Structure 1
Amino acid sequence: MTDKPRLSRRSLLKASAAAATHVALSINAPFVRANKRPTLRVLGTHVTLQEEIRQRAQRELDIDIIFTPGGSSEVLQKASAAPESFDLYEQWSDSINVLWRAEAIQGIDTDRLDYWNEINNLSKTGYITPNAKIGAGDAPHTLLYLQADGTLGANPGPQISFLPYVHNTDSFGYDTRHIARGTPYQSESWGWLLDDAYRGRVALVNAPTIGIFDAALAAQAKGLMQFNDIGNMSRAEIDQLFNILIELKQKGHFCGLWNSVPESVKFFSEGRAVISSMFSPAVSALNGQNLPVIYAAPREGYRAWHGVMCLSANAEGHTKDAAYKFMNWWLSGWPGAFIARQGYYISNPQRARLHLSPDEWRYWYAGEETSTNLLNTKGNVAVRAGAVRSGGSYENRFSNVAVWNTVMDNYEYSLPRWHEFLLS
């Protein structure tokens, strides 16, 4: 980011005069400042901008909080074009390069983060265990730290581009009434999405930066093509992939593309789909409806994502202080436990553990059997007693990442091909 221009002498005098006037007014009317609560505007997606979270944070932090949730592409476009429209931005790590290049966000000082030392190595180094696969694409740690030359990179420094918090591994869900249950990391495969046996009952997520990787993993697993770097496809590879997808779509292979978690749930509950790209809360919701949908642990590895909380380039003063309070609150324990009940992880899980029951920790993090029914964030049964989380423990899942959500070099080129696929 560029340095701010120096103030001229005239500007400096005006600023000094304004400051003196502000001090005088504060002295004469102290009650005005004392009663004014800061307002924090948070722009992001429905994944984290949930009303229960807003109400709890607002009550505990004594600040007014406005959530503005939207679709991934919509909020990224708004944030990159208008940093004055938000104070904090919550989305995925694949948005970081876009926001940083647009100078829409500013660096976050790690010495103002209460739990920075508790954030685990997955977020800081890419390795949840020493022998883990980091995965292709933009692993979050490669975009985390501000470098001396103004770029983002993996070399540690005192400022970061985002607060690491919510993250997960994604795959696909399948209905065991129609598809025989597979073995995690052995027989379950992304290639199932393109298996002719399920023609007409396969769904994909309608998100260009996500769906393209699900499709690519499926095409490669099925032996239809190979990628030199699946996290950064060439134009020729993108063309080959979409030629495959369009041909399949024209043959009636896909029953549809979903735009939201509730819509993906509906695809299964109405019998439209038996296998689909899926997010964790959708599987929990379907299990809560007693539908036997399994969240696969593909032998090729997961598509992973990492949530990012970014500070607007325009945030300053009391608003900036409120933003740091909110960031610290997110890692304080309760929020991490709340999102664990949706199947998501937090970057300092040991603090969240204090707010989870022993069975909740065993199921969601340790990959062990729960002896009791577990509730989701709505208070409904999401996990039945005796269940073990598909894919196993937190460490197992993040040791098997095939690719991270990424904005590829040829992202702009892939967009019209994605829309061609939708319309074919």
Structure 2
Amino acid sequence: MFDLNNFNQESASLIQELQKHVGEITAIRRFFHQHPELSRQEFKTADKIAALLESWNIKVTRNIGGTGLVGVITKGLSSKMIGIRADMDALPIDEATHKDYASVNQGVMHACGHDGHMAMLLLAAKYLSLEATFDGSIVLIFQPDEEDDAGARRMIEDGLFDKFPVDCVFGMHNYPNAPIGQVMISHGPQMAGTIGLEITVTGLGCHAAHAYNGIDSILVAAHIVVGLQTIVARNLPAQDAGVITIASIHAGKANNVIPQSVEMIGTIRYFDPKTAAIMEEKVKSVAQGIAAAFGASADVRLKHGYIATVNHTEQADFCIKTAQKLLKPEAICLTKKPSMGAEDFAFMLAAKPGCYLFIGNGPGDGGCTLHNPAFDFNDANILVGGAFWTQLTLDYLA
């Protein structure tokens, strides 16, 4: 549990007001957990959110980027506008939490905590709409398809920031193996950019007992896998982060046939686009050079995916000030290291100034880690995360 003494005394009245709604929002979070929906299929989830927002007198716009929706709360006369985003989709995983609110949709579960992300924002939304006083607008962004195909980008392409021209935008993700409720904020890169990697190695198939009559595509592929691992170590400065991973290799069907070709797939991860460009060029030259040395060929195909998630300094500083107003120092971490995982909130940060932060979900014991069948969002974070979003909004729209 989160120790309520970690809230600063000056935030006591806000916490008391929010606590009145925590029971209701916790039940809603567990409803989302019990009824998860995959990317681009968040129909009932969006219906539930829209009904809740409208019941709290919040204007709702549906079907942005597919199943995405936006709620807007406006008070006073100011043109200032802040955006806060929560993702909605679940994962294709069979749940093994054995909770009484476990998923009833076989093969689908909220194994990344998006049910909790929605709940934190809904707690803030209810209080801000029905009880708070501020001057300006808050745009509540409920985004589909984070897990699969960049729903954030699709919402932007569908006019999200044209229809709702926010000054800045913020997002939050739970973080297992960090103390419950610890708010984690840092400057610069937070999550990596991604490039999909496919390599087809073509040799000359032959009988496995007479390898000298062919060109062994599997041997060539093995040398390429090893060669690719020299790129980061020998072509990037030590302070520049990069990852090149071959994650799957497929070739052949018989134990006495050297196959004509090998298919390999993998990923490239980076924070700096300049680093990405170096790795892209070297992957091609290393793979093709090694293949040529054996008399084989290598067809290298690269597909850019998510861009890097990079916080803006001014908005990160603003989040830090809000956290320090709300929480005691022991409940704040300002030294979190960036992750080579990927996050489509990057596209929102590329379009608008903002900050992506994290909230500790507690120990990862028993598999309570992201994308694991035993994962569950920690309900104690509904109050902490909801309070943070509320205070951030009140600070910005003061």
Which bracket does the TM-score occupy, shorter chain normalised? under 0.3
Higher RCO (Cα < 8 Å, 6 or more apart)? 2
TM-score normalised to structure 1 length: 0.22
Larger Rg: 1 or 2? 2
The structure where strand makes up a greater share of residues is 2
TM-score normalised to structure 2 length: 0.23
